[in-house]
Structure 1
Amino acid sequence: MASGKFIPLARLTCRSGRSPLFATRRYLNTKTAPSLYAARAHVVGARTGHVDGENLKVDLTMAKALGGPDDKSKTNPEELFAAGYGACFQSAMNAVAPSLGLKMPKDVEDSIVESTVHLVGSMKDLDMGLRVELVVKVRGLDKESLEKIVHKARQVCPYSRATKDNVYTVVRCETM
C-alpha cells in the first residue's frame, strides 16, 4: 500500500489466513510437478532387515538405545535420514550461495553439516516422531554471511520443505 495506489478493501481480505500485508509465497505443487529424479528402495524385514536400491544395499538393525544389538556393520532409518538430510542441506547451501553474491568454499573439508536425527516420543504408546539438529560449519565465511546462506537453504532444501511445521528442527551455524 506504500505505492499510493487505491486498493479496494475487499481485495485486502485475507484469503489464506495470513495478514494481507505479507506477500503469499508460492509453493511447489509436489503432486503435479515434474519428477526430476525418483529413488526407490525395496525393504524387507523392517528395522532388522535389508534395503536394496538401484545404488544401495544396506543391512538394518535396531539401534542399541532401542534394545537392538551393537552391530556397527549395520545402520537404521534414523541414520539414513540424517545422512540424506545433511547431504541435501549442504547441496542447497551450495546452490543458494551465488544468488546471495556469496561463495561457498571449494575444498569439501571446509564445509561440514553434522546432522542428528532423534526418534522421540513413546514406543509403548505408538506415539513417535522425529527431532532434527543440524550444525553447519564453514571455513572462509563470516557468521552473518553463513546465516544468510543457511536461511535461504532452509527455504529450498527438499528435506527442510518436507519436514517444515511437522519436525522440530534446529540449525546452528559455526565458522571454522
Structure 2
Amino acid sequence: MSVLYTAKATAIGGRNGTVRSDDGLLDLQLALPAGLGGKGGATNPEQLFAAGYAACFGNAIIHSTRNQEVKIRDNDVEVVAAVGIGPNAAGGFGLTVALEVTLVGIEQAKAEVIVAEAHKVCPYSNATRGKVDVVLTVHTR
C-alpha cells in the first residue's frame, strides 16, 4: 500500500493522561468515563475513535458518489458513530460500532446503496471488518 498521509499522536498516562498530535492541533486531557468507573470530565479513546470513524465514513460517502449521477455534498451527509466497549470471550475487551447515517435529498433505496458502497471504501470500515461488529442504519430527509 502506498501511504498518502500519516497521523501521529502520543498518549501519556493511558486513559487518565493526555494525548497530543505531533503538529499540536490535537492536545487533549483523557479520563476514564464515569460509565467505566472513572471520574469522567475529559474525552476518552472511544469518543476519539467515534469522531474519527464518523468523519471518515461521511467522507467515504461523498467520495463514493463523485463519479455517479447522484452526488452527495458535504452538508447533505450526517454520520453519528456510537462506539461501545465491553469484555470479550477471550478475557480482554472488544468494541462495537453503530453508524447512523442521514442523507439529505435522496430516496431511501439509493441511500442504502450509497452507504453500502461507502462501507467498502472507508478505511475505518476496512480496518474493523471481521474484527468489530459494525451496524449501519440509513435515514433520509
Which stretches of structure 1, 4 residues or more, deviate above 6 A after TM superposition?
none
| 1:127-149 Cα shifts (integer Å, max 9, x gaps) | 21000000001110111111111
Q: Does 1:43 align with 2:11?
A: yes
Aligned 1:94-173 pairs, distance under 5 A: 94-105=62-73, 108=75, 110-121=76-87, 126-173=91-138
Find the counterpart in structure 2 of residue 62 from structure 1. 32
Gaps of 5+ in 1: 1-32
Q: Number of residue pairs matched?
A: 138
Q: TM-score, normalised by structure 2?
A: 0.92
| Contact kept in structure 2, 1:138 and 1:175, CA below 8 Å | yes
Once residues 105 and 12 of structure 2 are traced to their aligned partners in structure 1, the CA distance between those partners, rounded to angstroms, is 45
Find the counterpart in structure 2 of residue 81 from structure 1. 49
Among the aligned pairs, what percent are the same residue?
Answer: 37
CA RMSD of aligned residues (A): 1.4
Give 1:150 shift.
Answer: 0.5
Give 1:126 shift.
Answer: 4.3
Gaps of 5+ in 2: none
Structure with the bigger RCO (C-alpha within 8 Å, sep 6+) is 2
Give 1:102 shift.
Answer: 1.5
Q: Please say which structure displays the higher CA radius of gyration.
A: 1
Q: TM-score, normalised by structure 1?
A: 0.75
Normalized per residue, the structure richer in strand is: 2
Once residues 4 and 82 of structure 2 are traced to their aligned partners in structure 1, the CA distance between those partners, rounded to angstroms, is 27
| 1:19-43 Cα shifts (integer Å, max 9, x gaps) | xxxxxxxxxxxxxx22100000111
